[in-house]
Amino acid sequence: MTRKINKIKQIMNNTFDKIRSNANCHPFVKWAGGKTQLISLLNQHLPKQFNHYIEPFLGGGALFFSLINNKRMLFKSSLSDNNKELINSYLVIKNNIDELTELLKEYEIQYKKDQEKFYYYLRDIKNVSDGVENAARFITLNKTCYNGLYRVNKSGWFNVPIGRYKNPKICDEVNLRKISQTLTKTDTIVFTDDYRNSININKVDENSFIYLDPPYDPINSTSSFTAYTKKGFGKSDQIELSLLFRKLSDRNCKVMMSNSDTSLVRQLYRAFDIVSVSTKRQINSVGTKRINHQEVIIKNY
């Protein structure tokens, strides 16, 4: 009898695993400051209930995908970032998945023929106007550039050199199609905007959960990467962001933030719950070396 019950349990577990892995999707870009390795920790600090998820520094969207995979009650999600090319890629994945995967497969062939030649040809194109071509270029460069870094020069042009990969998967069709389905089948909007404009303060309340994952406050002048955009993200931006945190808190929203463990951050958020987290970060000024990084998770609930 016990053996039979165990057998049934095992079959059920296998079936659930299958369903779960079928549904799982993950970030389609490798992103500086991406939260994949911190996901289990972030999950421990989520609010118990919310029906509107808002992520205004979306990047690779690691927490959003984790929430989707864990089937949280996401009635509605508002996702944004000020990186136009990144957001264009999300929208193309949502609306033009067939054309995109076809072009990515073509780029994968071209890249394999002559990696350097194709990489620099693609990187240095300055007039990509078509959305699908732009997304294919963006994803290909992300998969093949040095450290998966997105960095622009003072004129706003992507300027990362080629990375060393033997056989990068430029077209991860299974994951891209899962993301496409997720974005079309859930109540999710994705748009380009500065975080200052992306949240309508009158339309958020105690049912809103806002995850703020800004460029980190640098631990010292050389250690941290903040050049996602040509303007960067400096001390005054950190201060301004803390004012938004307070405003959202005053509206009774649930707000969670990730940042570096610096004296500025501790001072700005001293009224809230600050949890220390130790992590290994790969993308920094010393190239591929992974260094220990002290971070914090800040919550108002």
Ligand X SMILES: C[S@@+](CC[C@H](N)C(=O)[O-])C[C@H]1O[C@@H](n2cnc3c(N)ncnc32)[C@H](O)[C@@H]1O
Residue 121 vs 157, nearer CB to ligand X: 157
Residue 103 vs 190, nearer CB to ligand X: 190
Nearest distance from residue 259's CB to ligand X, in Å?
9
Nearest distance from residue 284's CB to ligand X, in Å?
13
Nearest distance from residue 60's CB to ligand X, in Å?
3
Nearest distance from residue 23's CB to ligand X, in Å?
19
Nearest distance from residue 197's CB to ligand X, in Å?
9
Residue 110 vs 244, nearer CB to ligand X: 244
Q: Is 251 exposed, middle or buried (0-12, 13-18, 19+ CB in 10 A)?
A: middle
Residue 61 vs 111, nearer CB to ligand X: 61
What is the chain written as a DSSP string?
-HHHHHHHHHHHHHHHHHHHHHH----SS--TT--GGGHHHHHHT--S--SEEEESS-TT-HHHHHHHHTT---SEEEEEES-HHHHHHHHHHHH-HHHHHHHHHHHHHHHHH-HHHHHHHHHT-----SHHHHHHHHHHHHHHBGGG---B-TTS-B-PPB---SS--S--HHHHHHHHHHHHHSSEEEEE--HHHH--GGG--TTEEEEE-PSPPPSSTTT---TTSTT---HHHHHHHHHHHHHHHHTT-EEEEEEE--HHHHHHTTTSEEEEEEEEE-SBTTBT--EEEEEEEEE--
Residue 57 vs 111, nearer CB to ligand X: 57
Measured at the CA of 265, the angle between CA 44 and CA 258, to 5 degrees, comes to 30
The owner of tokens 């993950």 is 26
Nearest distance from residue 13's CB to ligand X, in Å?
29
Residue 33 vs 218, nearer CB to ligand X: 33
The radius of gyration computed from the CA coordinates of the chain, to the nearest angstrom, equals: 20
List residues near ligand X by CB under 6 A.
27, 31, 33-35, 56-57, 59-62, 81-83, 194-195, 213-215, 228-229, 233
Residue 70 vs 229, nearer CB to ligand X: 229
Nearest distance from residue 79's CB to ligand X, in Å?
10
Backbone angles phi, psi at 167, to 5 degrees: -145, 65
Residue 168 vs 214, nearer CB to ligand X: 214
Nearest distance from residue 190's CB to ligand X, in Å?
13
